Amino acid sequence: MLEARLEQANVLKKVVEAIKDLVQDCNFDCNDSGIALQAMDNSHVALVSMLLSSAAFAPYRCDRNIALGINLGSLTKVLKAAGTEDWLTIKAEDAPDVVNLVFETKDADRISEYDIKLMDIDQEHLGIPETDYAATITMPSVEFQRICRDLSALSESVSIECSKEGVKFACQGDIGSGSVFLKQIEKVDKPNETVKIEMTEPVSLTFSLKYLVNFCKATGLSGTVQLSLSSEVPLLVQYDLQDQSYLRFYLAPKIGDEE
Amino acid sequence: MLEARLEQANVLKKVVEAIKDLVQDCNFDCNDSGIALQAMDNSHVALVSMLLSSAAFAPYRCDRNIALGINLGSLTKVLKAAGTEDWLTIKAEDAPDVVNLVFETKDADRISEYDIKLMDIDQEHLGIPETDYAATITMPSVEFQRICRDLSALSESVSIECSKEGVKFACQGDIGSGSVFLKQIEKVDKPNETVKIEMTEPVSLTFSLKYLVNFCKATGLSGTVQLSLSSEVPLLVQYDLQDQSYLRFYLAPKIGDEE
DNA sequence: CTATCATTAT
DNA sequence: ATAATGATAG
């Protein structure tokens, strides 16, 4: 059986909020190392990968590998019933028909409990290759969100161009063109405002702003975001969560005429 | 060429916000004395006149007279990308296809740059006659906004009646009638709360509240507003900006049955 | 002055 | 349902 308690129902709430527009139904794969999720969006352009490590839960118990096939719309409805500060316990049998979610206020004055029916979902196994990226940018997540929103007013696509000096986001559209340049800068006192670039070679790639704006729904999960790029390889947009957990989005670059 | 830097992108942001619902496309006329704009609203009932004096910019350089025909919707999108505290530099060539806007944080860690395509706009020249108004009321801009909003809940029109004692805003509507009387009062310590009336003869005129509410979008630009009235002449609603700059709205009075 | 929230308008 | 706006709190 599975039994896992999160001290912040909020984390799962925000994760699901951030991915539910990309993926309708997916498996939450539970094993002794934690709860993981991988899924492609409907158009097979983007990929979501989440890990909530067993370390993020206390207690965490999972005797056997279980795949919980869940409709994210249903899960969203249920998670709306959770208070931000509620503790969340996820429970399932070894061969479950339902997943059981229990929300309790810290003092246990209010306990709410929901069962969500599970579904069988074809497990298209998604091998995500480990990549050595040519460049990784770490920047404030709100800054990335701001840039994606601003540029999406002008165009469908953005080019991300990374050099040692900094990173430039640029686009062209019908009403004109726009660009934002961020200088690499370390703010020791405010690490969340640091823009850091780790790079082996300069890289410039173009991506759909619609997807990037969508990924930015995860902004509230982390103060910083990492963008990892290599030529002809999907962009990795990563939000690190506490306790070795993460939410990652992959997005294939636009090539040639598509730009 | 034109090159003009505003230390507060905010000023242009608020000006455009205040007029974009009245005017879609208009020329920004640039010459060595500054950047000016005159335009009528679509229904030709109201007129907007803005001056950003060269003194409001540092530096300011404009070698030749240039008319920048800009779609205010596009400009709004771009200005949304400016931070409140950003410095804004406006640049254009002598015979430009685009206007270039550069936003930079004070420390230049973030530089964003936008080109907006220009349009040819028929320059219907608007001779705005200098008028000696029968009465000019200076009052807190938030007070004027409040009155226009409150009375617009009751009626389409408001009468503004000015005497030496003070000014009365009154309206009649289906559900009842309303009026607000402001006594002339000088608060030496709080000049922004002063209500001052300069008058050669009493005057009473009626105006469309819809337009006045619209003009009040400029409230954030100045702590005070001046209302200038004369019989059978458009009302002048004026917001003074820093450095000999201003935003003015003119609105023809309603007459006879129209009230 | 920014961020969040709450309300409203589309 | 979502987006834009305005109010409020930090």
Restricting to A residues 141-160, those with a Cβ less than 8 Å away from any Cβ of B are 143, 150-151, 153-154
pLDDT value at residue A151: 95
Q: Write the pLDDT tens digit of every residue in B213-224.
A: 999 999 999 999
Contact, B205 vs B157, CB < 8 A?
no
Helix (H) or strand (E) segment spanning residue B73: helix B72-79
Task: Give percent of chain B with pLDDT exceeding 90.
Answer: 86
Q: How many helices (H) and strands (E) does chain A have?
A: 4, 18
Q: Diameter of chain B by CA atoms?
A: 60
Pick the closest to residue B89 from B119, B123, B52, B57 (CA basis): B57
Chain B residue with minimum CA distance to A181? B111
Q: Write the pLDDT tens digit of every residue in B54-108.
A: 999 999 999 999 999 999 999 999 999 999 899 999 999 999 999 999 999 998 9
Q: Write the pLDDT tens digit of every residue in B146-165.
A: 999 999 999 999 999 999 99
CA A56 to CA A170: how far, in whole Å? 37
pLDDT value at residue A259: 47
Is domain A2-117 classified as CATH 3.10.150.10? Answer: yes
Q: Is the pLDDT of residue B144 over 80?
A: yes
Confidence band of B253 (pLDDT split at 50, 70, 90): very high
Average pLDDT over residues B24-43: 95
Q: Domain spans of chain B? A: 2-117, 135-251
* pTM, full prediction: 0.94
- Name which of A148, A175, A181 to mutate to probe chain B: the one with the most chain B Cβ atoms within 10 A of its Cβ: A175
CA A3 to CA A60: how far, in whole Å? 6
Per the CB < 8 Å rule, is B80 touching A153?
A: yes
Out of 1.10.1060.10, 3.40.309.10, 3.70.10.10, 3.30.450.20, the CATH code matching A135-251 is 3.70.10.10
A142: the nucleotide nearest its CA (via C1') is C3
Token readout for A114 is 């929901």
User: Does A111 reach chain B within 8 Å, measured CB to CB?
Assistant: no
The CA–C1' separation of B129 and D9, in angstroms, is 47
Q: Which residue has the tokens 């730009």?
A: A259
Distances (CA, A) of B135 to A71, B146, B147, B208, B213: 68, 21, 19, 19, 21
pLDDT value at residue A257: 55
Q: Diameter of chain A by CA atoms?
A: 60
Q: Torsion angle, CA of B230/B231/B232/B233, rounded to 10 degrees?
A: 0
CB contacts, 8 Å: A176 with chain B: 74, 78, 98, 114-117
- What's the DSSP call for residue A25? E
Chain C: positions less than 7 Å from a protein CB are 1-4
Residue ranges in chain A whose pLDDT is less than 70: 257-259
pLDDT value at residue B180: 95
Order of all β-strands in the sheet with B25-31: B66-71, B25-31, B34-40, B46-53, B245-251, B235-241, B224-229, B135-140, B196-199
- What's the DSSP call for residue B2? E
Per the CB < 8 Å rule, is A183 touching B109?
A: yes
Distances (CA, A) of B145 to B19, B160, B217, B219, B254: 15, 14, 8, 7, 20
Average pLDDT over residues B169-177: 92
Pairwise pLDDT comparison (B44 vs B53), residue with the higher score: B53
Contact, B47 vs B249, CB < 8 A?
yes
Residues 6+ apart with CB under 8 A from B176: B154
Token readout for B229 is 């009235």
pLDDT value at residue B257: 56
Q: Write the pLDDT tens digit of every residue in A65-94.
A: 999 999 999 999 999 888 878 899 999 999
pLDDT value at residue A105: 86
DSSP characters for B42-71? TTSSEEEEEEEEGGGSSSEEESS-EEEEEE
Amino acid at B85: E
